[in-house]
Amino acid sequence: QVQLVESGGGLVQTGGSLRLSCAAIGWNLKIYALGWFRQSPGGNRNREFVAGINVSGWTTYAGPTEGRFTISKDDVTNTAYLQMDDLKPEDTGVYYCNIIITDNWPSVRPSGNWGQGTQVTVSS
């Protein structure tokens, strides 16, 4: 059974760092690309794209995160990571990983089957 399990979230002050992990259980990251998405607090329940990494290790980022966030992966353990530096209050939200569709790279879209996510809260 395939499953995506996020971890590593928490409460951090503005300017701080966090490293999120995504265990891609049952997935092979040598074959499937993976991305991170964020659901911000408030009425908008859409999950917005944050960062993506394809099977070759190429990366793509949303504008506000480029230069501050770094996505990476370990093809041996099938784990992906999101290193988040210089965090800002607007980065607050629930972060999800997902297998992504890359036929229009660097634009990507999620394939579905969301996990539980991990909460990131950045205080001002």
For the stretch 65-99, pLDDT in tens is 999 999 999 999 999 999 999 999 999 999 999 99
- pLDDT tens-digit map of 103-122: 999 999 999 878 899 999 99
89 SS3 class: helix
| pLDDT at res. 14 | 98
Q: 43: pLDDT confidence band, cut at 50, 70 and 90?
A: low
pLDDT, averaged across the chain = 95
- Over range 1-23, report the average pLDDT: 97
* 42 against 90, higher pLDDT: 90
Cα–Cα distance for residue pair 51/67, rounded to 1 Å: 11
Give the C-alpha separation, 5 to 100, whole Å. 15
pLDDT of residue 112: 85
Residue 1 in this model has a pLDDT that exceeds 80: yes
User: Whole-angstrom Cα distance, residue 40 to residue 58?
Assistant: 26
Q: CA–CA separation, 1 vs 14, rounded Å? A: 38
